[in-house]
């Protein structure tokens, strides 16, 4: 059963947040440390004070409630999602998936431009935000992909596209693998490509530089990733009890992973951090790093890739083409890891170009084959009927 959902955080929870922030026990800091030891104390105090005295959750909550929110239960887990229908009744559905430390909020700025041409389904990953904590082992990206396939089935969508970044990229790829007859294609704005000494491919200087960056990350695994992949429960105690800790943990990622030229506002960032805090999903969201094995997921459907210059890593096309059916590849000189928030117009245009091209190619293939096999014309008719 699919039920309408409205965001309504109890006032007691907001009062508790304000009280905890007012009683923060701050550590000392080495003089002139800057970023050498982690998030700078002065900047975190500034953010915490604004969160306590200036930021208005109720105003943002009211804006978010203008969207159509729903929940449903799939595989024993509550699933929250936003469902925005295009004014075009035959529009192709797209399911958009966020990553960590993001949420469905990442896609707010692309809803309007993308909904001109597509129906949009924007779920919260199990363990994140309004989907709430997970309660058992095994919620990896493949299980989430199966849940997304069931969600789209419940919504009546028989053919659709998938898009995502960060974990959303892996989930979207896995969705293409578990539901290849339904997924017309997958677009991602984050696609790690690891060095492959056996590939036998001559790479450009740019690609070699990108692989050097990957090698450095593999040799020096980021501390946040190590903790979340090994002891997410231990980490969860601190983040669930201390709003200042939760603030530092996520704000550091935004500071390091965004393009300095496309700075995300403090209000925008604090809305996302508030979502983690108010739903107590620090530990359950971190568990996805432990649950998901570090391997390349197969994806048999067409793939489109958008590479943003300031992302954590940049994909290497010759290596990606050995693994996936790459139909579309774009490189952007600006934008970082949170592309939908940093450069929504660039991302929306790229997503639109990829999927509209796939639709045209799909129609042409069906039309060419219709005379020789009546099954193709029937398939095309069904596909046009469900794009509503």
Task: Give residue 217's pLDDT.
Answer: 86
| Domains along the sequence of the chain with CATH | 3-24+36-386 (3.40.50.1820)
What number is the average pLDDT over the span 166-170?
Answer: 97
Choose among 330, 327, 328, 348: nearest CA to 339.
Answer: 348
230 vs 371 pLDDT, higher one: 230
pLDDT band at 269 (very low <50, low <70, confident <90, very high): very high
Contact assessment for residue 185 and residue 164, using Cβ atoms and an 8 Å cutoff: no
What number is the average pLDDT over the span 336-350?
Answer: 97
pLDDT (tens digit per residue) in 43-82: 999 999 999 999 999 999 999 999 999 999 999 999 999 9
pLDDT of 315 above 90:
yes
* 219 half-sphere exposure, CB direction, 13 A CA radius: 7
pLDDT (tens digit per residue) in 5-34: 999 999 999 999 999 999 999 999 999 999
pLDDT of 114 above 60:
yes
pLDDT (tens digit per residue) in 223-259: 899 999 999 999 999 999 999 999 999 999 999 999 9
Range list of H helices, 93-161: 108-115, 141-154
Rounded CA Rg of the chain: 21
Token duo for residue 196: 């492959």
- Count each helix (H run) and each strand (E run) in the chain, helices first: 16, 9
> Rounded mean pLDDT of the chain?
92
Task: Give residue 310's pLDDT.
Answer: 95
158: Cβ contacts below 8 Å, ≥ 6 apart: 182, 382, 383, 386
- The CB density around residue 8, as the number of other CB atoms within 10 Å, is 8
């Amino acid at each position: 059963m699919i039920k309408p959902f409205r965001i309504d955080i109890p006032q007691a929870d907001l009062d508790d947040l304000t009280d905890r922030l007012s009683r923060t026990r701050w550590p000392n800091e080495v003089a002139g440390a800057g970023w050498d030891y982690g998030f700078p104390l002065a900047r975190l105090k500034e953010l915490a004070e604004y969160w306590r005295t200036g930021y208005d959750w109720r105003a943002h909550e009211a804006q978010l409630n203008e969207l159509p929110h729903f929940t449903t239960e799939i595989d024993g887990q509550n699933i929250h999602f936003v469902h925005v229908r295009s004014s075009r009744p035959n529009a192709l559905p797209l399911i958009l998936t966020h990553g960590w430390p993001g949420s469905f909020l990442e896609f707010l700025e692309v809803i309007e431009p993308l909904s001109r041409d597509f129906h949009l389904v924007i779920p919260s990953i199990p363990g994140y935000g309004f989907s709430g904590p997970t309660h058992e082992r095994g919620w990896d990206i493949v299980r989430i992909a199966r849940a997304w396939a069931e969600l789209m089935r419940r919504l009546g969508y028989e053919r659709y596209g998938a898009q995502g970044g960060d974990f959303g990229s892996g989930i979207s790829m896995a969705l293409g693998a578990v539901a290849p007859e339904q997924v017309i294609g997958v677009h991602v704005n984050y696609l790690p490509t690891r060095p492959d000494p056996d590939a036998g491919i001559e790479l450009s200087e740019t690609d070699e530089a990108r692989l050097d960056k990957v090698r450095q990350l593999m040799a020096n695994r980021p501390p946040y990733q190590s903790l979340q992949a090994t002891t997410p429960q231990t980490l969860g105690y601190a983040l669930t009890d201390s709003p200042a800790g939760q603030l530092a943990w996520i704000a550091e990622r935004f500071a390091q992973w965004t393009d300095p030229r496309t700075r995300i506002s403090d209000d925008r960032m604090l809305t996302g951090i508030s979502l983690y805090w108010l739903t107590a999903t620090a530990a359950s969201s971190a568990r996805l790093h432990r649950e998901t094995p570090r391997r390349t997921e197969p994806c048999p459907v067409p793939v489109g890739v958008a590479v943003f210059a300031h992302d954590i890593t940049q994909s290497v096309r010759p290596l990606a083409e050995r693994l996936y059916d790459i139909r579309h590849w774009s490189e952007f000189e600006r934008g970082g890891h949170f592309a939908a928030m940093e450069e929504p117009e660039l991302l929306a245009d790229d997503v639109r170009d990829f999927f509209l091209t796939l639709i045209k190619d799909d129609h042409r293939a069906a039309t060419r084959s219709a005379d020789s096999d009546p099954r193709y014309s029937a398939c095309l008719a069904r596909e046009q009927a469900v794009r509503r």
